[in-house]
């Protein structure tokens, strides 16, 4: 089966996809690639929140201190926000959701939201990564201030010194990528988000992918697990 046919099969069977995993596992990187290939929206709660902070909106001001500390935004705030974000998209062909849900409460909320629009979660891709690798990847991450493209000074550097390959924008470090904040994000992930692995496993929706290795290898693994189970 050609790679194109395989992707078309995924789209027929598994179109509502959640990406789960520790900070820096590559959820955003893989999600954006998959979204382009499958031609379905990529929706990142972290990106959407950072956009609100940049625009200095009321919600941006409310969430800024949580994100800076590496804490989770409270469920009631993020749930209302994400519903408003999802409402803006045409989800009928599917979607890739990165960063939401992050607690069991949020997972139940998402199930109810999807039920109301006659949809459901089809697959949860859990990208795993050892802690040492997480810290290395996050410390090297740089993000384009203008278009949000993600680079890594160690693993995936821009072609021209600290300028975005796509739009020429300035590359910056995320404020929550500082070492102390990353350590806290990992702790919060273990306490609040890791229980979702069992939650989705119990619902027979979990597909684990090893996040180590070069980007293209991880992409292949993601496509393979989705394709194998269709």
Q: Report if residue 49 touches ligand AP5, rule: CB under 6 A.
A: yes
The only residue of 20, 78, 86, 107 in contact with ligand AP5, by rule CB under 6 A: 78
Q: Which of residues 130-159 bind ligand AP5 (CB under 6 A)?
A: 137, 140-141, 150-152, 155-156
Q: Report if residue 53 touches ligand AP5, rule: CB under 6 A.
A: no
Q: Report if residue 14 touches ligand AP5, rule: CB under 6 A.
A: no
Instruction: Choose one: 6-14, 97-105, 114-122, 159-167; the region binding ligand AP5 (CB under 6 A).
Output: 97-105
142 is catalytic: no
Active-site option among 27, 50, 137, 142: 27
* Three-state DSSP state, 21: coil
Burial of residue 227 (CB within 10 Å: 0-12, 13-18, 19+) is middle
Q: Helix 27-38 crosses helix 215-229 at what angle (to 10 degrees)?
A: 60
Q: Report if residue 25 touches ligand AP5, rule: CB under 6 A.
A: yes
Q: Which is nearer to ligand AP5, 9 or 184 (CB)?
A: 184
Is residue 215 within 8 Å of residue 29, measured between CB atoms? yes
Quote the least distance from Cβ 224 to ligand AP5, whole Å: 15
Dist CA 224 CA 222 (whole Å): 5
Strand 171-172 and strand 141-144: the pairing is: antiparallel
93 is catalytic: no
The only residue of 10, 16, 17, 23 in contact with ligand AP5, by rule CB under 6 A: 23
Give kind and range of the element (H or E) at residue 88: none
* Three-state DSSP state, 118: coil
């Amino acid at each position: 089966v050609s790679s194109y046919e395989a992707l078309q099969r995924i789209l027929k069977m598994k179109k509502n996809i959640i990406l789960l995993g520790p900070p820096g596992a590559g959820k955003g990187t893989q999600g954006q690639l998959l979204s382009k290939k499958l031609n379905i929206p990529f929706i990142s709660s972290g990106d959407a929140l950072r956009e609100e902070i940049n625009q200095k909106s009321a919600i941006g001001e409310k969430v800024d201190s949580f994100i800076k500390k590496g804490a989770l935004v409270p469920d009631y705030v993020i749930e209302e926000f994400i519903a408003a974000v999802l409402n803006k998209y045409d989800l009928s062909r599917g979607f890739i959701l990165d960063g939401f849900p992050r607690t069991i409460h949020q997972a139940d909320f998402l199930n109810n939201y999807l039920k109301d629009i006659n949809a459901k979660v089809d697959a949860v891709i859990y990208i795993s990564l050892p802690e040492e690798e997480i810290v290395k990847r996050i410390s090297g991450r740089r993000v384009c201030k203008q278009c949000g493209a993600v680079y890594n000074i160690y693993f995936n550097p821009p072609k021209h010194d600290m300028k975005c390959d796509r739009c020429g924008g300035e590359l910056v470090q995320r404020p929550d990528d500082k070492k102390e904040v990353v350590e806290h994000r990992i702790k919060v992930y273990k306490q609040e988000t890791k229980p979702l692995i069992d939650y989705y496993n119990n619902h027979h929706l979990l597909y684990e992918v090893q996040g180590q290795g070069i980007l293209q290898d991880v992409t292949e693994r993601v496509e393979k697990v989705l394709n194998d189970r269709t």
